[in-house]
Amino acid sequence: MADISIDSIAERYDVAVIGSGAAGLGAAIFAALEGARVLLIERTEYIGGTSALSGGTVWAPGTETGRAANPDDSREKVSAFLDSAVGNFGNRDMREAFLDAAPEAIATLQARTQVQFRPYPRHPDYEWDHPNATLNGRAIEPVPFDTRAMGAARNMIRPPIPEFTVLGGMNIDRVDIGHLLNRYKSPASFLHVARIVTRYMRDRALHGRHTRVVMGGALVARLLASALDLGVDILRSTEVTALTETGGEVTGLRLRAGARTAPYPWTAASSSPPAGSGAPPAAVPPICPTPCPPKAPRPPAIPARCTIWPSASARPMGRGTTRAPSGRPAPPAAAPMAAQRSSRISCSTVRSPAPSASTSRAAAS
């Protein structure tokens, strides 16, 4: 395990990555895959940041995994959806670069590392009522992961938040929740629940925590296991307090571990750039001029369809619009939340009301 301390940084690295969330671990993995010597620096004792506490859902349109859930989706539809949903509030070139790179990045992770994803049968896009929004295929989730193979390194992973666990620390995801709710109705669900609860009890006795991680925990565990496989050195409980620059280039880092501070002189391990690295990327244009131009007017609400989105999502928004999920009418603005929660989805051909001034994005923005 390449878990090092501030006093044992003897090597020179090609790449230093600050922060061990999904972004940092992803950067470290891709640099290591390109042949770079990588140092990952994390200021807390745990690896994973907010990413480890998250749902772990990755919105990455165009992946093979996503296509299994929605073969009809296309790059053009995603692009048009983002143009409508984001409008001028984001840089279009960056969006297009993301759409170009995401499928390949996910494919590389799945082919060359322990990071594995599965499709969501149902996961509507946020901002679902724009043209070309989908109910599935763009959001993928990490496959649950068994951390026992990681040995002591599993203790580096940030524990989940209590809200995402049951029985004082048992990790569950949406598949498990479905089985938990059906445990007395379906023998398969009963068996699934019996299996995961037994495993959890055994893990608590033997390892002190659940070793089957899900959602953000699975994403971070898979990323961390892969980074360690690739020889990434990990420096925890150490904060990068400053970058040292010389002539416009970063030439060192200032590190702090407890009361200890140390400069880390930056000298690349190899004089040549890592294999595969080409010309430096073009400068990224600014997001938008100040102030941002207004977004395109919101299109008319799309006709309702039946979904399984929970009823609590259908609530009036502060700005006067209503995000009613497909398949159910928008609740009246004054409806108490308890009444909305207790209502059930109707699959009848209920249609969203015609757009009015108060539901138009143009008015809202």
Ligand X SMILES: Cc1cc2nc3c(=O)[nH]c(=O)nc-3n(C[C@H](O)[C@H](O)[C@H](O)COP(=O)(O)OP(=O)(O)OC[C@H]3O[C@@H](n4cnc5c(N)ncnc54)[C@H](O)[C@@H]3O)c2cc1C
Q: Which residues bind ligand X (CB under 6 A)?
A: 18-24, 41-44, 49-51, 53-57, 239-240
- Measured from the CB atom, the residue of 18 and 350 that comes closer to ligand X is 18
The distance of closest approach from Cβ of residue 19 to ligand X in the complex, given in angstroms and rounded to an integer, is: 3
At 102, which amino acid appears? A
Q: Which residue is nearest to ligand X (CB)?
A: 21
- Measured from the CB atom, the residue of 150 and 214 that comes closer to ligand X is 214
What's the rounded Cα separation, in Å, for the pair 292 and 39? Answer: 38
Residue 172 tokens read as 């569950």
What's the rounded Cα separation, in Å, for the pair 145 and 218? Answer: 5
The distance of closest approach from Cβ of residue 279 to ligand X in the complex, given in angstroms and rounded to an integer, is: 26
The distance of closest approach from Cβ of residue 56 to ligand X in the complex, given in angstroms and rounded to an integer, is: 6
Q: Minimal CA–CA distance to 18: which of 322, 268, 235?
A: 235
What's the rounded Cα separation, in Å, for the pair 171 and 207? Answer: 14
Cα-only R_g, the chain: 24
What's the rounded Cα separation, in Å, for the pair 303 and 326? Answer: 8
The distance of closest approach from Cβ of residue 305 to ligand X in the complex, given in angstroms and rounded to an integer, is: 23
The distance of closest approach from Cβ of residue 342 to ligand X in the complex, given in angstroms and rounded to an integer, is: 25
Q: Cα-flanking dihedrals φ and ψ of residue 320, to 5°?
A: 95, -5
**DSSP class of residue 42?**
-
What's the rounded Cα separation, in Å, for the pair 241 and 32? Answer: 24
Q: Around 265, how many Cα atoms within 13 Å sit in the side-chain half-sphere?
A: 2
Q: Minimal CA–CA distance to 307: which of 328, 284, 281, 334?
A: 328
The distance of closest approach from Cβ of residue 178 to ligand X in the complex, given in angstroms and rounded to an integer, is: 18
The distance of closest approach from Cβ of residue 303 to ligand X in the complex, given in angstroms and rounded to an integer, is: 28
Residues 6+ apart with CB under 8 A from 362: 294, 295, 297, 298
